[in-house]
Structure 1
Amino acid sequence: MKATAEELDAMRRYGLTLPIETVPLSAYRELVTELPDLGFTDVWSGEAGHADGFTPLALATAFAPSLRIGTAIVPVQTRGPALLAMTAATMANAAPAGFVLGVGSSGPMFVERINGIPFEQPFDRVRDMVRFLRRALDGQVVAGDFGTFSIERFQVSLPPRQVPVMVAALRPRMLRLAVREADGAIINFLSPADVKQVVATIGADGDGKELVARLFVCPTTDADYARELGRRIMTGVITSPNYAAFHEWLGRGELLAPAQAAMAAGDHRGALSAVPDQVIDDLLIHGSPGQCQDQVRAYVEAGVTTPVLSVQPAPEYGTGLHGMRQAVRALAPEPTRTRGS
């Protein structure tokens, strides 16, 4: 049954992505402490070269203990199984409102080229890590061969309360893994119409499972600025092999083929200019704050249970702490309940 506008405005979860690249970690207290009053329920972080996936969350739960925290995502290759389980257990024990461990395969650029770790059997590694983590985080003694790694004997010494494990997924095989063996899926770089395709692919296995979507949002009415920003953020990602296959599956293969060819030829500038406005408008939420909120609502209508905003700098607000706080306030689910600046 389709939800009413009032029900969607009272959606159960509404998240913010940290870090915000233009705001230093040392200034986060001012931003984070007001998030619950604005209607935010979650803070999520990840690893893409700017910060590790856990430190911003540790700060967030210390500054605003009522916020649930989660990773979206940390790679399964760059930490050993026991270290990842220990880190997750530590975060969960430190977070009064709960911690969600989102994991994924990442890609050769992050795993191999800058971390020097072979990028091998990504699907199998995710599957095996999920199976290990679910047992380890449940406090079990874990031993045995998991396929892509073996564990002699491991047990979390201080088992946390329940830690949901979620999987970043793009195409059908990983999406089905996320809902069959984990607690849900994490998705990004897609439109509300694409979410419907994802939900249809998951099918009944997704009933009762969480679907987290990281949504890039630029609250500006300057469409040219937003599209230029979107190209800078997205071109390198959506032309990479994994995301190229994802968007081929979603039906954007022909639209993105020129940009992918330019990137493969080493022509980064040509790739930027070859991404059509239509693609940026599909993948980047932009417009007035009210228009942006309407677009977020469209994702929820399509099946997202937890929208997580990645707020981008807009000329109307500026890039510093004060400006980004104003932008976050403008995009909040309950924007009339803000405190003074």
Structure 2
Amino acid sequence: MAPKQRMAVTVPAGPKLEDTAKRLQWAEANGYDDAWFSDSGAPDSLTAIAALAHRVERLRIGIAVTPVFSRTPAVLAATANVLGQALPGRFVFGLGASSQTMMQNWHGLEYEKPLTRVKETAVMVRSMLAGEKSDFDLETLKSHGYRQPPSDPMVPLYLAALRPKMIEMAAEVGDGVVFNLWPRKALPKMVEHVHTGAARGGKDGAGVEIVNRYMVLVTDDKAEARNRFRAAFAPYYATPVYNSFLAWAGYEDAARQIREGWAEKDRAKTTGALEDDLIDDIAVIGNEDECRERIRWAAETGIHTHIVAPLTQDPAEVERTFAAFRPEVFDLAA
């Protein structure tokens, strides 16, 4: 059975915990199904979930995604145990490799064998959540003699993925898959790889939940919104992980120009690689009807949970963007 269609807000809502609490409460009051945290620095999202879990009663809360390099499997399992108790049956733990920029530059960690590290982390964390005593000598990780009380209900583990090998592993090993920042023509083949990986794991691919975070701006000024996207995400696509993904998705020239522009410290060259058509293939920009139609297409193509991440910090623009996807005006089940 296919997972239900779900609309989600993105959090945190800025540096202040109270602002995030207000967004969670607004989402619950306005019929959203989920809230999904990003995890890229302060405020720490795992701590924030623990601090704010009592502020909502119905929302499912996920994290997309916690890097597997910056915390050990035992720490991740212990944290998931607490969050699973704070949100029984309503917490989803997303894990991913993150990027060289964050792991090497921010944390001073080696970024090696990301696919293997994500897979081994998921295997170990799931075992620890089940209350099993650790006895692992894996390629990238080891643990012996660690045990914690079993989680009940079990906390689901969703794995972030972009390209075929990681997508297939995520669907095979994880309970769900998390996508991000794909160009439109890449999505059908990404969904195909989910089905391939799920079959390898003895699962029905149609039952594997696919979560996606969209950069969205409901606006009447598309040109200005595209420029915001260029400024914010050209550096993102300069990282090796996303640059390779963009090339795999069929935009080799744009990927090469971004890579070259970044190396040359030529901002105009880097941002200029993201032409209007490419931005429209990645971001969700336009008026209410245009943005809803884009999300509806993604749902029909294979996405189940749709995280709306406003491409703005302006309160009025954020309100308009989130308001466009309230169930009273946008029903994916219809």
The TM-score normalised by the length of structure 1 is 0.88
Q: Match of 1:334?
A: 328
Find the residue that maps to 2:303 and give its secondary structure: coil
Which range moved further: 268-277 or 322-331? 322-331
Q: Match of 1:277?
A: 276
Decide whether the 8 Å contact of 1:43 with 1:60 is kept in 2.
no
- Name segments (4+ residues, structure 1) moved above 4 Å: none
Find the residue that maps to 2:296 and give its secondary structure: helix
Decide whether the 8 Å contact of 1:178 with 1:185 is kept in 2.
yes
Looking at structure 2, the residues matched to 57 and 71 of structure 1 have their Cα atoms a distance apart, in angstroms, of 9
Q: Deviations over 1:266-292 (max 9, x none)?
A: 223431133211111111101112221
**Is residue 19 of structure 1 aligned with residue 12 of structure 2?**
yes
Structure 1 position 334, deviation (Å): 2.7
Find the residue that maps to 1:300 and give its secondary structure: helix
Find the residue that maps to 2:169 and give its secondary structure: helix
Q: Match of 1:113?
A: 105
* Alignment match of 2:49 (pick from 57, 60, 63): 57
Structural mapping, 1:1-341, within 5 Å? 12-21=5-14, 24-157=16-149, 159-204=151-196, 205=198, 206-313=205-312, 319-320=314-315, 324-335=318-329
Residue type of the alignment partner of 2:35: V
Q: Deviations over 1:36-79 (max 9, x none)?
A: 33221111112223532323433553221211111100100001
Looking at structure 2, the residues matched to 177 and 262 of structure 1 have their Cα atoms a distance apart, in angstroms, of 33
Q: Deviations over 1:241-296 (max 9, x none)?
A: 11111111111112332222111222234311332111111111011122211111
Structure 1 position 323, deviation (Å): 5.3
Instruction: Mark the CA change 1:61 to 1:293 in structure 2 (over 3 Å): closer, same or farther.
Output: farther
Find the residue that maps to 1:69 and give its secondary structure: strand
Decide whether the 8 Å contact of 2:28 with 2:58 is kept in 1.
yes
Find the residue that maps to 2:92 and give its secondary structure: strand
Structure 1 position 110, deviation (Å): 0.6
Decide whether the 8 Å contact of 1:81 with 1:129 is kept in 2.
yes
Structure 1 position 35, deviation (Å): 1.4
> What do you get for the CA RMSD once the two structures are aligned?
2.3
Residue type of the alignment partner of 2:77: A
Find the residue that maps to 2:45 and give its secondary structure: coil
Structure 1 position 32, deviation (Å): 1.9
Decide whether the 8 Å contact of 2:7 with 2:32 is kept in 1.
yes
Find the residue that maps to 2:104 and give its secondary structure: helix
Decide whether the 8 Å contact of 1:167 with 1:185 is kept in 2.
yes
Looking at structure 2, the residues matched to 50 and 104 of structure 1 have their Cα atoms a distance apart, in angstroms, of 18
Which range moved further: 49-58 or 179-188? 49-58
Structure 1 position 186, deviation (Å): 0.6
Residue type of the alignment partner of 1:18: V
Decide whether the 8 Å contact of 1:256 with 1:275 is kept in 2.
no
Q: Deviations over 1:210-258 (max 9, x none)?
A: 1111111011120111101111221111121111111111111123322
Decide whether the 8 Å contact of 1:61 with 1:67 is kept in 2.
no
Looking at structure 2, the residues matched to 305 and 297 of structure 1 have their Cα atoms a distance apart, in angstroms, of 10
Looking at structure 2, the residues matched to 323 and 265 of structure 1 have their Cα atoms a distance apart, in angstroms, of 35
Structure 1 position 301, deviation (Å): 0.7
The TM-score normalised by the length of structure 2 is 0.89
Which range moved further: 70-79 or 39-48? 39-48
Decide whether the 8 Å contact of 2:136 with 2:144 is kept in 1.
yes
Decide whether the 8 Å contact of 1:223 with 1:286 is kept in 2.
yes
Looking at structure 2, the residues matched to 52 and 28 of structure 1 have their Cα atoms a distance apart, in angstroms, of 12
Looking at structure 2, the residues matched to 333 and 250 of structure 1 have their Cα atoms a distance apart, in angstroms, of 32
Structure 1 position 27, deviation (Å): 2.5
Q: Deviations over 1:295-325 (max 9, x none)?
A: 1111101100111111222xxxx713x6534
Looking at structure 1, the residues matched to 194 and 125 of structure 2 have their Cα atoms a distance apart, in angstroms, of 22
Structure 1 position 209, deviation (Å): 0.7
Looking at structure 1, the residues matched to 182 and 47 of structure 2 have their Cα atoms a distance apart, in angstroms, of 27
Find the residue that maps to 2:23 and give its secondary structure: helix
Decide whether the 8 Å contact of 1:192 with 1:302 is kept in 2.
no
Equivalent pairs, count: 323
Instruction: Mark the CA change 1:55 to 1:292 in structure 2 (over 3 Å): closer, same or farther.
Output: farther
Looking at structure 1, the residues matched to 165 and 4 of structure 2 have their Cα atoms a distance apart, in angstroms, of 29
Looking at structure 2, the residues matched to 42 and 331 of structure 1 have their Cα atoms a distance apart, in angstroms, of 12
